[in-house]
Amino acid sequence: MQINHASGKVAMKPADDVGDLTEEFNNLHLEHVDVQANTLQYDYELKINPCYYCDIAVPWDQAFVNLNLLGVLCIFLGPPCLLDIRKDFPDVNEPQPLYLVPGTNQFWLPNERGLLLIPRGATIELYCSKEFFNATKQYNESNGLKMPQNSRTVCLRCLQDKIFLWQGEKHELRQFVCTEHTRYEVERTNEPCGKMPTPGMTNAATSSSAREYRVGFTANRKERFLETMRICYDEALLRTYYVRHTLSPAILHMQKFVKRLSFSKAGYFDDLDINYFYKRKNQHGRVALLLKGEHPEYLFDNKSLYLVRGHLAAKADFVYATQQHSTFHYFNVAPQWQIFNAGQWANLEYNVRGFVARSHLHVDCYTGTWGILQLPIVSNTQTQAIEWQDFYLGLDKNNNQILPVPKLFFRIILDSSHPNRGIALIGVNNPHAGIREVEESYVICRDIREEVPWLRWMRNENLRKGYLYACRVSEFADAVRHLPHYLMNVTEILQ
């Protein structure tokens, strides 16, 4: 960066970062520049727009760009506010607000060290779906705040360190909490998805009734939606094909010890008791029907051989407590064996997050299901002939089978900066399958895990805990056929 003290112009290379600019501006003597008139205008703009903040767009195709000095002073004059999202925020189980980039549909996310960096003079927006604590009466005081009645949005301007300016007074971010947890929404978009027929699946499982749903928070107005995930879901079958969300290097510093919520219907499924479908009593009963009354003792036990609500976008995949809450609904789960859920699948999720953090990557994740688990049923007791039957956990009001148990769970990750580079990681959802059955019926694309150095952890030493393998995204998408079509073009391996 070069500063012309006479003209007050800044020439900044695209590689300059906040630290470099802060050091330069701290050494700058303002008497070299006539700042009075512009400073008054800047102060006026702050008063008429409490969420005003400066932004700098540096064209990457230009070696240098001239910036008006005063245009960047509001951000870079002095050190930024740095807050540890685990230590300097309200307790994770208090009703935290949303932490937003003002006027946008974006969360203000921490950096790779888990620190929320807000440039000095910049503004962060806090939003509650109801109101802030003790804002139900005019100017009640709480934690030193004088909160106007029914306040749902506040904008705090960074002064220094952990101190912010609000309504002319100094405060800390941790002082601002909501009266209740900010509510997420699941909204049907009516965009079709997952319609292509999939080899190896029944006609029922390739229904064209799948639609996209978006999950997130509405702030201030309907068109301002803070999305946490997007889901391809078949409401007729109660089947989730995939969930799309993002992972950043900050994920290892996500807010911990957030209490798990009860799974929600999110305003859907009025005539169905989905919670009952997942109960062990129902699981045993559904299998007993397939076995013509025989007790399925060999399939279940009370320790880990039973089906649970398997998260697709995991709670630990999200930074803020509010975002983590938005994972607890029935659109974001599928029937998964507990021994696999706590075994190889948990191992896969953990190692993906570690890889993203170590590699300083921002990735797009597609986590979903494929196929229907089939159980071997003796169709003729004399000949001992075996018939394979699809395993569903429920029936709808017309006696149609719903909520299929998937054969496979998968997670695809794509490098956001190189979208033709990615990898598909796949897990077998059947603790009863032997290695021969796995290789013949569950491996649906060429396994490349031995070719990818960061997948050295992927070992299949205990089949009951799950069998994992990896494929090129393009090959896996071609086999699955219910993923977005552009994934067929992801041919480079993320390694």
Would you say 249 and 365 are in contact if contact means Cβ atoms under 8 Å apart?
no
Look at residue 71 and give its three-state secondary structure.
Answer: helix
Rounded to an integer, what distance in angstroms lies between the CA atom of residue 130 and that of residue 153? Answer: 10
Q: Is 341 annotated as a binding residue?
A: yes
Give me the catalytic one of 171, 253, 311, 329: 311
Residue with tokens 């998805």: 193
In the block, tokens 């702050």 appear at 46
How wide is the angle at C-alpha 66 spanned by C-alphas 59 and 3, nearest 5°?
130
CA distance 450 to 271: 48
Residue 436 CA: distances (Å) to CA of 143, 331, 468: 64, 33, 14
Whole-angstrom CA distances from 66 to 30, 34, 38, 230 are 18, 18, 17, 40
Q: What is the separation of C-alpha 12 from the centre of its chain, rounded to a whole number of angstroms?
A: 34
Residues 443, 278: Cα–Cα separation, whole Å: 27
Distance between CA 233 and CA 240 in Å, rounded?
4
Rounded CA separation 477/423 (Å): 11
What is the 8-class DSSP label of residue 191?
E
Task: For residue 136, count other CB atoms closer than 10 A to its CB.
Answer: 14
- Count of Cβ atoms closer than 10 Å to residue 165 Cβ: 16
Burial-class residue 110 by CB neighbours within 10 Å (0-12, 13-18, 19+): buried
**Other CB atoms closer than 10 Å to residue 68's CB: what's the count?**
12
Q: Are strands 408-415 and 123-127 parallel, antiparallel or unpaired?
A: unpaired
Q: What are phi and psi of 63, to 5 degrees?
A: -70, -40
Active site residue 311: yes
* Binding-site residue ranges: 341
The catalytic site residues sit at 311
* Binding-site residue ranges for Mg(2+): 341
